[in-house]
Structure 1
Amino acid sequence: MQADLIEDVLYGPAQMLGGSQLEDGELIELAREEFEGQPFCIVRNWMVLDLLLTEAQEREVRKQGHQPTVLFINHAVFDSESRIPAGDCFIPGYQKDFHGCFFESKDKLYILAGRGARKHVSVPAISALHENLSWPVR
C-alpha cells in the first residue's frame, strides 16, 4: 500500500511547472543580492504538493498563517545557511507564500530552478514518503 502511495506521488500525473531558467551560479549570486539577510535555498527536481486535509486540519494550518501546501525537493543545490547538504532530498514545512519560482516556508525561501510539477496528495502519501524514503521534513 505505501509503495503505491509513493509511486503515485513520484510518478503519477502532475501539472508541469517551470522554475527559473538561470544557471545555479547565477541564481546563487542573484539571491545573495536580492534576498540579503534572508535564508534561501536553490532547488531542482521539485514538486509543489497540495495536501488533501480534513476541514479541521486545513483550518489549523491556515490559522498559523500557512497554506496546506508543501514542497517536495528532490535535489538541493545550495543553502545560504549551509545547513542542507547539496543533493539532499526533503520536504520543508507548509507554504507561507508562493509566487513564480519562489516558495516560502516559515523559515526559508526556496528558489525553484528548472522544471517541476504540482499535484494534490493525501497525508498518508506524504507520510509514506517520509517514513520509507527517510527524507527529513525540514
Structure 2
Amino acid sequence: MTTLDKIARLLYAEGEAVVGWVGSEDDLISLAATTFPGKPFCMVKQWILIDLIVTAEERGKLTRLGLLPATLYAHEVVLDSQGRFQPRMWVRSNFGVSLTDYIFETNKTVYLLLGPGVRKEATVGAAFSMKAG
C-alpha cells in the first residue's frame, strides 16, 4: 500500500467512535486553563486520535523521552490561543505526552477535543507525512 493510500485511509476510513467535549467551548477553555495553566491551547473538532504502530524498541525510546506513541489530527481548528492556526485549518500535532477524555497534550500545546472524534491506528510514516504548506 502506498503512503498516499495509507494517508487517505487514515483520514477517511472508519475508526472507533470517541466522544469528546459536549459542553460549552468556554467551559472547555476554563478546564484547560485550570489543568494546564499558561500552556497554549488549540481547540479542534472532527479530530482523529492516532495510535501509532511502533516496535517494542520504538515504544521504549518514546517512553524514555516521556512521549506517547500517539498523535492527533484534526480536520478543523476552532480556536488557537496563540493564533498559530486559523479557524477551519487542519492541524496535526507532534507526539503526545498525556491524554484525558477531552485533552490531548503535547510538549508545547494542549489540544481541546470538541465534539465527536475517532480513534485509529497508523504507521508513523503515514501519520507524520502530512505537513501543512
Aligned length: 131
Report deviation, 1:37. 1.8
Q: 1:113 corresponds to which residue?
A: 114
CA distance in 2, matches of 1:22, 1:63: 35
Question: Does the 8 A contact of 1:31 with 1:40 survive in 2?
Answer: no
Gaps of 5+ in 2: none
Q: Identify the residue that residue 98 of structure 2 maps to in structure 1.
A: 97
After superposition, the Cα gap between the structure-2 partners of 1:41 and 1:122, relative to the gap in structure 1 and judged at 3 Å, is: same
CA distance in 2, matches of 1:6, 1:12: 10
User: 2:11 aligned with 1:14, yes or no?
Assistant: no
Distance between the aligned counterparts of 2:38 and 2:125, measured in 1?
A: 36
How far did 1:56 drift? 2.3
**Contact 1:71/1:91 (<8 A) preserved:** yes
Are 1:46 and 2:47 an aligned pair?
yes
CA contact (8 A) 2:39 2:108 kept: no
Calculate percent identity across the aligned residue pairs.
Answer: 26
Shift of 1:4: 1.6
Matched residue of 1:73: which SS?
Answer: strand
Residue number in structure 2 paired with 1:71 = 72
Amino acid at match of 1:111: L
TM-score, normalization by structure 1: 0.83
Query: Is the 1:48–1:119 contact (alpha carbons within 8 Å) kept by the matching residues of 2?
Result: yes
For 1:1-30, what per-residue CA distance to the aligned partner results, in whole angstroms no more than 9, with x for missing partners?
2332122101223100011112435544x3
Q: Do the aligned partners of residues 10 and 118 (structure 1) sit closer, same or farther apart at CA in structure 2, a change above 3 Å counting? A: same
Secondary structure (helix, strand or coil) at the match of 2:94 reads coil
Which secondary structure state, in structure 2, belongs to the residue aligned with residue 77 of structure 1? Answer: strand
Runs of 4+ in 1 over 3 A off after TM superposition: 23-28
After superposition, what is the alpha-carbon deviation per residue over 1:45-76, rounded to whole angstroms, capped at 9, x for unaligned?
Answer: 10100001122222211111011000112111
